[in-house]
């Protein structure tokens, strides 16, 4: 659902990247005799900034190209033609593209840093939640429910369950370093997701395996190395808790 919303938003941003500069150019046509071209160029750049901040990198680049084209067509003599006869107008048009691309790149990088910071906070909160429950000696069933819910959200899974018995032969496995191994080969989960129909994360503590979490991945859903490492950390906390609970019995 979230991915569909993001795709819909990106399509809207891409459409706006082409259409909005056109509309702005049309609005400025009645004033082109009295409105300085540099001022009109700044208006176009402000449109690019708005698209770059709210849309994708591609949308920002499209907005840059669209703004330059409609600036030339509507606001640069000879009007209503994609022709530039004066060098200052050519330089202004080029500047719109260059500034637009730079602003788009800065906006894209800022978005990436913001998303990374938010993701890191969410990952810490997940591990902290499981650790707190373990420290409080919560019932095993409650711990399993929390870990499976956390893994489902973290890895975008369809289902997740805990099994005390291991599979023979083993399933595709997310190892302690976050790598995904399938029949002895490294699987590119960052590009094409976790292999299905099922994979596993071993619950082990100090070399002792106490079970596994069996995950049913969403086909084609890319999973970053950070997400996989956090998922193993969650399972490790659970394994330590389970081993301590078994010792107390």
Q: How far is CA 77 from the centre of its chain?
A: 43
Average pLDDT value for residue range 4-26: 84
Among 51, 49, 183, 52, smallest CA distance to 108 is for 52
pLDDT, tens only, 71-80: 999 988 888 8
Given a contact cutoff of 8 angstroms between Cβ atoms, the answer to whether 63 and 100 are in contact is yes
The answer regarding whether domain 137-248 maps to CATH 3.30.450.40 reads yes
Among 106, 104, 117, 109, smallest CA distance to 55 is for 104
- pLDDT attached to residue 70: 93
Given a contact cutoff of 8 angstroms between Cβ atoms, the answer to whether 38 and 92 are in contact is yes
Question: What are the sequence ranges of the domains in the chain?
Answer: 2-114, 137-248
Q: Looking at residue 30, what DSSP letter applies?
A: G
Tokens matching residue 128: 């902290």
pLDDT, tens only, 41-71: 999 999 999 888 888 889 999 999 999 999 9
Burial of 177 (0-12, 13-18, 19+ CB in 10 A): exposed
pLDDT, tens only, 216-225: 999 888 898 8
């Amino acid at each position: 659902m979230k991915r569909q919303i993001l795709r819909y938003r990106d399509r809207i941003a891409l459409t706006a990247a082409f259409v909005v500069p056109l509309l702005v150019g049309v609005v400025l046509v009645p004033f082109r005799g009295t409105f300085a071209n540099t001022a009109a160029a700044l208006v176009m750049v402000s449109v690019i900034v708005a698209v770059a901040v709210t849309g994708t990198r591609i949308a920002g680049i499209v907005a840059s190209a669209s703004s330059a084209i409609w600036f030339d067509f509507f606001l640069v003599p000879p009007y209503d033609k994609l022709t530039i006869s004066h060098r200052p107008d050519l330089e202004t048009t080029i500047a719109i593209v260059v500034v637009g691309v730079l602003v788009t790149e800065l906006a894209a990088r800022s978005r990436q840093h913001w998303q990374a910071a938010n993701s890191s906070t969410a990952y810490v909160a997940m591990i902290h939640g499981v650790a707190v429950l373990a420290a409080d000696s919560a019932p095993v069933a409650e711990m399993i429910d929390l870990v499976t819910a956390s893994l489902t959200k973290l890895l975008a899974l369809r289902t997740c369950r805990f099994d005390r018995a291991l599979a023979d032969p083993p399933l595709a496995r997310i190892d302690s370093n976050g790598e995904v191994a399938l029949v002895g080969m490294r699987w590119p989960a960052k590009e094409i997701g976790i292999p299905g129909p099922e994979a596993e994360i071993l619950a082990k503590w100090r070399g002792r395996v106490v079970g596994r979490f069996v995950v049913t991945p969403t086909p084609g859903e890319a999973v970053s190395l950070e997400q996989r490492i956090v998922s193993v950390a969650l399972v490790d906390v659970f394994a330590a808790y389970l081993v301590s609970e078994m010792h107390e019995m």
